[in-house]
Every structure is written in C-alpha cells, then in structure tokens.
Structure 1
C-alpha cells in the first residue's frame, strides 16, 4: 500500500515545489544554526549566560509569534501568506544580523524577526499537508515524512558549507547566504498552485492518519508531555554546547563542527525513509523509550570527549550516529504519537507536540548558558544525559500507568 501512495504523491503538481521549499529551508537553517552560538560568543562577545538569555528570548518570541501566526493562518483562505511572512521575516532577520553586534539589538532581532521566522517550518508543513490532501491519507502522511527527510538531506552538506562560508566570508557572508536560502525557499511557495479554503477542511480530515486507540488518562498524557519537554531540553542544550565545546575546550575548528552535524543529518535520512517504506515493527511508545535512552547514551559519549585526548573526534563520530537514530525516531514519529494519544483531536495533539519542543528550547536557553558559565561546556552534556534519562523513565512510568488503565477498563 505504501508504494501506490507514494506514486500518487509523486503525481501531484504541488509535490515538487514543496520538496524544493523544504530543501532550501533546510539549507538556510543548516547554514546558520550550528554556528549561531559561535557568532554570539566570538563575534558579539556574549558570555555563556548572555548567550543563554539570547536563545531564551528568541524561543519566547518563537512561541508567542508562532502561536499568533498559527491562529491567523487558520482563518485565511490559504496558509501561503503565513508561510511567506515567516520565511520573509527569517530572511530579514539574518540580513539584520550582519548590521550589528550590540546585545540589545540582537535580542530584538532574535525575538521579533527570528522568532517569527521560526514558524516557517510548521507553516510550510501545514501548507504542504493541504496540498497533499488529494493524494489520500497514506500518501499525505508519507509525503510529510519525505519532506522531513529532504529537510535533513540539506543538513548533510549545509553545516560543511556553512563552515566554509565562515572561513571564506565570515559570519556576515554566512548570514547573507542563509537569508538568500530562505528567499529560495519562498519562491516555490509563491509560484505553487495553492488549494482553496474549501479544500482545507477535507485535508484536515485526511490529516488524521492514525488508528484510534483507547484514550489515555490526563495523568499519563502529562507524564508523556513532560518527558518530551525534557527530551527537547536535552537535545537543544547539546546542540548549543557542541560547537563551543569543540572549538573552545577540545581545540577543534568549525570544519569539524560541520562534519559532525552533517554526518548526523546524513544518517537520519535512511532511518526516516525506512518509516515510509516499511512501517516500524514495534509500538511507537516503545520506540520513544528507546530514543530517549539513546539520547542519554549520546550525551554521555559526547561529554567524555574531553577525557580521551586526540581520540575525541572518533568518539564523537560514533556519538553522532546514535544521535541520528534519536532524532529520526522522535521527529518522524513524535507528532503521530501524540495524535494516537489524543484521537479525534489532531489539531490539539499537533499543537501539544510542537509546544513540548518549544518549551524544551526555552528551558535549554537559560539552563545551558548558566550551567556552562559555572562548569564549562563539556559538563553540559552530563546534565543533558540526566535529563534524557529522566525523560526515558517518565515514558516507562507512563506506559505502566497506561497498562493498568487498560486492565481496569
């Protein structure tokens, strides 16, 4: 059934523009995201705590503005204006980063422009889901997974290209290229044939793609949501600390940062595509427990990089392979998992899943900065491991509560 669904998706006129937009947006984020902490510390001269505040303010702006844009887009005949607004804001934000290194202006750019730009990803995927609606429910779900894989494909080369851009053109050239990539992502959306508001309702029905299981209790849902928040916090803290740990404590360079980030993205792709070509044999809840446990192992291995001397790069290459499994499972199956937990409430489930990630980023911003300033960047990974282990434990406890609930029923 999967092959016919993918064939139907491939025949859609909207498929190619959406794939191009996802790839270009992946390039834009992969150019800038791995090197933003380096820009903040090395060029803008932020302390670790100031970096944490900057990331937190950007996350707060992202949560608030993405919520407003999401509500606004729900009332529009098409989500296209919301997609273009968010991509345009991101492009303008990166252009503005080339004009100042003063702390307060950077906070404003992060909160307002980059915060608005953060809605590019969910708005593009929401727009694409509507475009894929005519292909049928299975093809629409597979299409979104394929878009996520294409987004990861851009991250394979993006960090290495970003490192080259920093070396050749500096952060100014890097941010201008990121802005140009966002413009490139917006062009396919501008020229795509968007579907009408009448089609949106049908697509929303088609987006409820999972089987309806027995409902979970509020307590169990709270535990799972908290687990995902801790997972998001651990993942985000590690992403912020990794480039600074490598360049400031291990004696590495931006090229090695790009190599590690690109390798992780490369390894994510076949894992993600396997979910399209062959459905997982294990329950989604089981896979999430595995993913969170592996995140704890990844954090431990990465943190050991400061204790193995010149072998740190080999150790981190192995660690990035583990991280690729974690991200592939959580990013591809996480949204569907929340939809399973909240049957018949696709919109609320999707919002809850997105908010756990945003909350994780918010906590990670301040916590990673304060922790790094007190104990160093390498120690951040120890804290990441603890948070991931607690997240894994919460998932195990929630499964037991769910089992008792089913027996009681």
Structure 2
C-alpha cells in the first residue's frame, strides 16, 4: 500500500510538471508572436528600435538566466526559483499591459522578461531530477515534456492574434499574466521540493563541474548554436524566399511550417523511447545528418511538392534535437541541472541574435539563395563539433 501511494504521488507530480510546462508554453506563445506588432502599433517604435528591443532582450535573457541557473544549482529550492520566475513573468505581462512608453519597456520590461526567461529551463531541470529520483525513463519523459511546448505553440499564436485583434493588447497581456498565475498555483500545489546547499558534498560536486574545463559541453554548445542559427535563418527567410524568388502561393510558407510542426511532435515522442536502444549520441548525429539533407534539398529543389517532401528531414532534425538536446547537456553536467538546461536554451537565444544579423546582412548583399548555402555549411560544422562530444 505504501509503494502504491508513493507511485501514485510521483505520477501526480510528473503530470503536474507536464501540465505546467504546457501552461507556461501557452503564456509565452501568447506574447511572443505579436510583440513586434505591439511595439510598432501600440508603442509607435521605429523599426530600428523594434530590432534593438529584441537584441537587448535576448542578451539580457542569456546573461540573467545563466546567473540564476548557477545560483539555483548551488543553493535554495528550485521550486522557489520557478515561483520567482513566474512572478517576474506576471510583472512583465502587467507592465506591457498598462505601459506604452518605450524606455519603460526596454528597461523595466526587459528586466522582468530576463528574470522570467529561466522558467522553462528550471522546469526542465526539476523534471529531470525528479524523474531520475523516481526511476522513470528520463529521456522519454523529457520528450513528452518538450512536446508540451510544441503543442502550446500550435495553440498559442492563433489565440494571441485573436485576443490582440479582437480585444486589444491590454487584454492579451492580462490573459498571459492570468496563465502564469495558474502556473504558480500548480507549482505551489504539486511541485516537489528540491533544496540546494544542505550538504557540502553537493556543493563540491557542483563546483567541480567547470564548464570551461569540460570540452564536450563547449563543443555541444557550439554545435547547438550553429544548428539553431541555421534553423532560425530558415524560419526568418523562407517566407520571403518562397514568395519573392520562387513565386509560389502566399499559403506555401504556412503549409511548409505546418507540415514540419505536425511531424515534430510524434518524432519527439518516438525519439525519447528510442534512446535506450540507439543511444543519445547516435540519435543526435542522425538528427544533424537529417538537417544537412534538408538544406541540400533547399538548395536543390524549387518545386512546391519537393519542398513539402523534404520537410520530413526538417522535422526529424528539429524533433530529435529539441527532444534530446537538453538531456545531452544534463548528462554532461549531472550536478548542474539548472546550468545544463539553461545552456541549451541560451544556445537557442544566441542563434536568434546571430540569425537576424546574418540573414539581414547577406540577403541585402547576395540575395535569398545564399541563406540556405550558409545554413548547409553551418549544419556541416555543427556535425563536426557533435563528433567531438563524448557519450555522456
């Protein structure tokens, strides 16, 4: 009876982790898609100031989330860190709901946003720790957890535009704040306590795992930045390339993205269950090879049906990397789950900055076609760095 109770309790906790990840994903997907429109239409910011806002926000999030992750691995309770991040997210949403002053948004708003950016990495960290402690299939559970974000981004963006256009941005941001409040209730009610700093041995283990001395972590981070930069350049440029260069229908970009997104979720789930049989390293390398094949297709094909067909390689690439990438970092830094999870998310944040700069510069000089050649080179370099990463 005691075992049954513990098993039932652990299942409840794991389900709460999945639901909270979905809720936080929805809250993020409510705000991000319409941000540029909000800054342009509501704040009346010039295009340069809109771009500057994105850049400052990304840099601040990278720095602050990493500092918060280091602290969370050494002292305090990770559950309290998540509550703090959710509270900052509410502050961010309320600020955007009632303020239309650019300087307030680019200072106080970004401060709240950068502190809130650690929410998902910390959820992934506490989920990994609890799944390991209760003897669950860590990789499979992480895949299901990551799939919650993908599902949230299927639902969130259409809902975001609906709320913004029908009821205004104030209502939309207040809805996001309310969603984060629900997330806080879930954390308080169901998340396990995860204290740090109680044992000197734990702190010594954390301090001994120096990132700069761990070449595998460095190689994996570089590989992550390269592969996600290629993907971000594709997402930024593809709608313009399809319209201006290939002359395909206006619905084609949405169709291509929809096919990839629809395939990614089942691929994530399957990848999680394949890891015990194939291994993370082999599966990760296979994913990057699929990415290389995808960009070979992008530089080779211009027909709509072929572009639709090669989305299977794109989905395999993104689905597997997004599913097991964060686990790979965590396995390489087993005593620094917060830092490991944040390194993965910061790799994506770095790629957003790089992709915007590279795409804007290269397209203005060489045209859209060069983007996919550069992406192909980046994936090839990423594959090289992945080969240097040892099995965790």
Query: Which range, TM-score by smaller chain?
Result: 0.7 to 0.9
* Structure 2 equivalent of residue 4 of structure 1: none
Alignment of 1:219-230 (within 5 A): 222-230=218-226
* Structure 2 equivalent of residue 334 of structure 1: 325
Larger mean Cα displacement after TM superposition, 361-370 or 244-253: 244-253
Aligned residues: 372
Equivalent residue in structure 1 for 2:315, among 324, 327, 349: 324
CA RMSD of aligned residues (A): 4.4
How has the CA–CA distance of structure 1 residues 297 and 187 changed in structure 2, closer, same or farther, with 3 Å as cutoff? farther
How has the CA–CA distance of structure 1 residues 381 and 270 changed in structure 2, closer, same or farther, with 3 Å as cutoff? farther
How has the CA–CA distance of structure 1 residues 348 and 80 changed in structure 2, closer, same or farther, with 3 Å as cutoff? closer
* Structure 1 equivalent of residue 170 of structure 2: 172
Q: 1:92-136 CA distances to partner (integer Å, 9 max, x unpaired)?
A: 212222334443333224531111111000111222334434421
Q: Distance in 2 between matches of 1:280 and 1:48?
A: 48
Q: Distance in 2 between matches of 1:247 and 1:39?
A: 25
* Structure 1 equivalent of residue 88 of structure 2: 89
| 2:298 and 2:372 in contact (8 A); partners too | no
Equivalent residue in structure 2 for 1:267, among 263, 266, 285: 263
Larger mean Cα displacement after TM superposition, 295-304 or 156-165: 295-304
Q: Distance in 2 between matches of 1:31 and 1:304?
A: 36
SS at match of 2:12: coil
Q: Distance in 1 between matches of 2:289 and 2:384?
A: 11
Alignment of 1:139-288 (within 5 A): 139-192=137-190, 194-195=192-193, 197=195, 222-239=218-235, 264-279=260-275, 282=278, 284-288=280-284
TM-score (norm 1): 0.72
The gaps in structure 2 that reach 5 residues or longer are: 1-5, 203-212
Alignment of 1:10-159 (within 5 A): 12-46=11-45, 49-136=48-135, 138-159=136-157
| 2:295 and 2:372 in contact (8 A); partners too | yes
Q: Distance in 1 between matches of 2:334 and 2:257?
A: 32
Q: Distance in 2 between matches of 1:285 and 1:17?
A: 30
How has the CA–CA distance of structure 1 residues 65 and 225 changed in structure 2, closer, same or farther, with 3 Å as cutoff? closer
* Structure 1 equivalent of residue 287 of structure 2: 291
How has the CA–CA distance of structure 1 residues 50 and 228 changed in structure 2, closer, same or farther, with 3 Å as cutoff? same
Q: Distance in 2 between matches of 1:381 and 1:175?
A: 38
How far off is 1:301 after superposition? Answer: 7.4
Q: 1:372-397 CA distances to partner (integer Å, 9 max, x unpaired)?
A: 37846x96785365145323334236
Q: Distance in 1 between matches of 2:148 and 2:376?
A: 27
The gaps in structure 1 that reach 5 residues or longer are: 1-6, 205-216, 404-409
How far off is 1:8 after superposition? Answer: 5.5
| 2:69 and 2:338 in contact (8 A); partners too | no
* Structure 2 equivalent of residue 372 of structure 1: 360
| 1:389 counterpart = 2:377 | yes
How far off is 1:12 after superposition? Answer: 2.7
How far off is 1:336 after superposition? Answer: 3.2
